[in-house]
Structure 1
């Protein structure tokens, strides 16, 4: 087995919006509780995503005591269950928007990225005299430090962390969302997709970075837990 340390836990209460970092969480068959429990739909009912609406990154959901509140720079916070939430979202995004429930949430998937994978990518980006990208461009649920070999996450069949056990399902195929600066809500490409195209192209033409896992054994995890990956 290869051993590392869990250095980050993040869930995203509203799909496409900012995430919330946690010191500890209980993983269930559904993944992280409340992850992608909500989404924002356009006037046709299609779900908005950062590739088309990068300003989603500036909306910060806050879940306290089961009550969801949305915040954005320069605006008063709004309760998700209030009648004004749709007008608030429309104003923030500049187009008709509606907050909706996602029945399946994140479909039980956990997105895992190792720090060594990001470091290897940023070394290649630096060789182009371009600025490195931060981990939040990839919006992971779990971040693992200490796996020395880059992309260990898509080369292990199972992972044991804290009281939980995870099983690999598939590599994560990256899209235009990775070119959105999560702090400004603006596109700032062509990185990291330009550099990923040099060495992470998979069958079918997609660019892989990170991996999805399902929870095989529910359990509590915490930042600082040992992460063991193996066959």
Structure 2
């Protein structure tokens, strides 16, 4: 039977992920010890979001969660400790992520200096404000209004292990190196299905308590070229996908993985090993 084999949360957009044994499931994505997926984000001094597309070294910024607190490490830098309790009268700033303009909490001068020194570029760390609202595109979610934070557009990304295995088999046949799953930065990995079978699911059902719904194939940008351990830009596995993963549903873009939303839940915990029933859409 298909089952969940990996769960990952990315507290700071485009920085390293944290592998989990279990996670809370919310409409806006995964949460662990009160810390949400993509709850923080780096922006330039004009408020434009930053990512590994421009700054591959962001992969080397590694958050960890300790007793509900977030700390971040980077090569050659002291640990940065971020208070997770929201403070009164924190400064806010306008930020832009794709076509969404939001008012976000600025995490202050010490965090800005730490990240600016780590990356060699002036930047600010911002946090998704408690009263901020951002939603996935209704073009794909229909009438359902789906909240998200600083994700590229949808609260959850799911990929099957078989899809990665298929890609790596093709890579090896071309004399190229295999790549790990973290190049594609999913929140949920499932195993026990055929390659790309996740594309054709009507839903992903975990027992009788949780139903996830795929809404949009995930178009791929240059980020999978970034080695998530070193921050180095290497051969892009998307080059291989171009030969067989152009998807007419998204105007021929190269897709890998499915953007997913929470359809219903009577419990809110996902665990490694959870069995997934995956009816096929007709």
TM-score tier, shorter chain, comes to over 0.9
Higher normalized contact order (CA 8 Å, seq sep 6+, divided by chain length): 1
* Structure-2 residue corresponding to 1:112: 158
* 1:200 counterpart (245, 252, 268): 245
Query: Alpha-carbon deviations, 1:113-172, whole Å to 9, x = none?
Result: 00100011111111110001110000000011111x211111101001254210111100
Equivalent residue for 2:61, pick from 59, 62, 71: 59
**Equivalent-residue separation in structure 2 for 1:108 and 1:175 (angstroms):** 15
Where do residues 80-159 of structure 1 align in structure 2 (5 Å cutoff)?
A: 80-81=82-83, 83-102=109-128, 103=132, 104-105=148-149, 106=151, 109-147=155-193, 149-159=194-204
Task: Name the residue aligned to 2:45.
Answer: 43
Aligned to 1:179: 225
Compute the TM-score of the two structures, normalised by the length of structure 1.
0.93
Hey, what does 1:28 align to over in structure 2?
26
The one-character-per-residue Cα deviations of 1:84-135 (angstroms, maximum 9, x if unpaired) are 1111100111000110113441366210000100011111111110001110
Q: Deviations over 1:162-206 (max 9, x none)?
A: 5421011110011111100000011102x3011000000123231
Residues 172 and 208 of structure 1 are in contact (CA less than 8 Å); yes or no, is this contact kept in structure 2?
yes
Unaligned runs of 5+ in 2: 84-107, 133-147
- State the match for 1:72 in structure 2: 74
TM-score, normalised by the number of residues in structure 2: 0.77
**1:52 Cα deviation after fit:** 0.6
Deviation at 1:66, TM superposition (A): 3.6
- Between 90-99 and 215-224, report the one with greater CA deviation: 215-224
1:122/1:194 CA distance change after superposition, 3 Å: same
Kindly indicate whether residue 20 of structure 2 is the aligned counterpart of residue 7 of structure 1.
Answer: no
- Alpha-carbon distance in structure 2 between the residues aligned to 1:183 and 1:157: 35
Count of residue pairs the alignment pairs up: 227
